A and B are shown apart, each in its own frame.
Chain A
Amino acid sequence: MLYDKWWKILAVILFIYILFFGILIPLKPGILNVSPSRFNAGDQVSVKVEGYNSFFLKEAELWRAFIKIDSIHSLQAYEINVISDTELSSKFNIPANLPSNLNLLSASFILDHPKSGAMLIPSKIILSQDSINLASAESSWLNKTKLKLHYRSSFEFPYRNILYETIRNTFYHVSLWFAMFIFFGFSVYHSIKFLKHHKIEDDLKSNALVNTGILFGILGLLTGSLWARFTWDTWWTKDIKLNMSALTMLIYIAYIVLRASIQDIDKKRRISSAYNIFALVAVIPLIFVLPRLTDSLHPGNGGNPAFGSDDMDNVLRMVFYPSVIAFTLIGLWIASLKYRLDYCSLKIEDIDE
């Protein structure tokens, strides 16, 4: 397995595939901005909508705009004027009362078209009212028919409001972490084998895999930090998943330090294999269980695993699954090179004696 070439060539081909499609597939049309976005009940307002990757001019008469408070309360625009492919103005008559006991309410803005699909900018519109009259509000806001929004099925990535184009990082940043876990799991397999049969190759393999895993983990931290800088406006936050992944790196760097600190070779191999097993057992609840118990900005936490309909999409999956395989194979190549190098150095020492 280590010396065959086929999986290495597959790794390179898959990598070029995910680079090409990951960078060049366009985003679905979406709403960049709506302005103004603060309205008083009873106003007649004209909302200017800026689109991204949109073609408002195509079949312009079929556009519909909605201000949506929740699934049963929404308001349709009575007039839509398309200014250009990316600019559109919609006019609303906001009723005199809002369906709520509060004076301030947030609503989403939706644009819908049979070809372009539905575009949503969540919670952007702020509505205020001076007096509360639920009865009259219900009669004006309650949906008389279903909105019947369209879905654009095309070979395009989903448009998400905070991410915009950086959704492409899913294939590069997330795959690094998946690959890292595969390496750590595989290395524990070799550590267990080593502790059972005491074959030096197993210890060398598990060491090579841990080192590659640490490399990918550090790359994951760096890429995640850069991604956060441009979407969350900070290089690091006190988010639990980030802290736990930094902790994982520290745990595995301790493995390297442990290995370097013991002089007796047999003892070194056995103790570091045992530590490796403990490390994986410790890391699994830290990274998979704890972040799901709390709310977090990081996708995949706050109760739901990642890759639900908010984080993953079928077109994304088409590039994401190959990217996990590509990163895993490249990492296995790097690990196998390190293993073979260590094995050769060991053999040379034996021959020299």
Chain B
Amino acid sequence: MKLLSFIILSLLSLPLFAQNNMNDYMRQTGKIYVVFGVILIIFIGIVIFLIRLERKIKKLENKINHE
């Protein structure tokens, strides 16, 4: 929970680092890696969800095929 709020708060503080240019907003001193990390985490979460679904369906199919 603490880690989650830390991540959310540090993402919320990103606008404070915006300089004169709105255009290189994220691409400064490493913040772009945060964007990459966030999206990667979201994607891995979705993949884990799909893998769990896949396992449940496979169990169901095995049950049906054995009856």
Contact B23 A347 (CB under 8 A): no
Contact B35 A23 (CB under 8 A): yes
Query: Of B23, B43, B57, B61, which is within 8 A of A19 by CB?
Result: B43
Chain B 25-67 against A: per-residue CB contact (8 Å), 1 yes, 0 no?
1110000110110011001000100100110010011001001
Query: Of A16, A52, A344, A347, which is within 8 A of B40 by CB?
Result: A16
Contact B36 A23 (CB under 8 A): yes
Known A-B contacts A24-B36, A26-B27, A32-B21; the reply to A351 vs B50 at CB < 8 A is no
23 contacts between A and B (CB under 8 A): A15-B43, A16-B40, A16-B43, A19-B36, A19-B40, A19-B43, A20-B36, A23-B36, A24-B32, A32-B21, A52-B24, A53-B24, A165-B25, A334-B50, A337-B53, A337-B54, A340-B57, A340-B61, A341-B60, A344-B57, A344-B61, A347-B64, A348-B64
Give the residues in chain B near A20, CB-CB below 8 Å.
36
Tell me if A164 counts as interface (CB < 8 A to partner B): yes
Q: What's the Cα separation between A348 and B21 when bound, in Å?
A: 60
Give the residues in chain B near A347, CB-CB below 8 Å.
64
Highest count of chain A CB atoms <10 Å: which of B23, B25, B33, B61:
B23
B64 closest partner in A (C-beta): A347
Give the residues in chain B near A12, CB-CB below 8 Å.
47
User: Given A20-B36, A165-B25, list of 13 further CB < 8 A pairs?
Assistant: A16-B40, A16-B43, A23-B39, A24-B32, A52-B23, A164-B23, A333-B50, A337-B53, A340-B61, A341-B57, A344-B60, A348-B64, A351-B64
Q: What's the Cα separation between A334 and B26 when bound, in Å?
A: 32
Q: What's the Cα separation between A348 and B65 when bound, in Å?
A: 10
A231 to chain B, nearest CB (A): 11
Contact B24 A165 (CB under 8 A): yes
B31 to chain A, nearest CB (A): 11
A interface residue count range (under 10 / 10 to 19 / 20 to 34 / 35 or more): 20 to 34
Give the residues in chain B near A23, CB-CB below 8 Å.
32, 35-36, 39
Chain B interface main SS type: helix
Give the residues in chain A near B21, CB-CB below 8 Å.
32, 52
Give the residues in chain A near B40, CB-CB below 8 Å.
16, 19
Known A-B contacts A24-B32, A165-B24, A165-B26; the reply to A337 vs B67 at CB < 8 A is no
Give the residues in chain B near A348, CB-CB below 8 Å.
64
Chain A 321-336 against B: per-residue CB contact (8 Å), 1 yes, 0 no?
0000000000001100
Q: What's the Cα separation between A279 and B25 when bound, in Å?
A: 42
Task: Tell me the A253-295 residues at the B interface (CB within 8 Å).
Answer: none
Known A-B contacts A32-B23, A52-B23, A337-B54; the reply to A351 vs B43 at CB < 8 A is no
Give the residues in chain A near B32, CB-CB below 8 Å.
23-24
B62 to chain A, nearest CB (A): 10
Give the residues in chain B near A337, CB-CB below 8 Å.
50, 53-54, 57
Contact B23 A165 (CB under 8 A): yes
Give the residues in chain B near A333, CB-CB below 8 Å.
50
Task: Tell me the B5-36 residues at the A interface (CB within 8 Å).
Answer: 21, 23-27, 32-33, 35-36
Give the residues in chain A near B54, CB-CB below 8 Å.
337
Give the residues in chain B near A32, CB-CB below 8 Å.
21, 23
Q: What's the Cα separation between A337 and B24 when bound, in Å?
A: 40
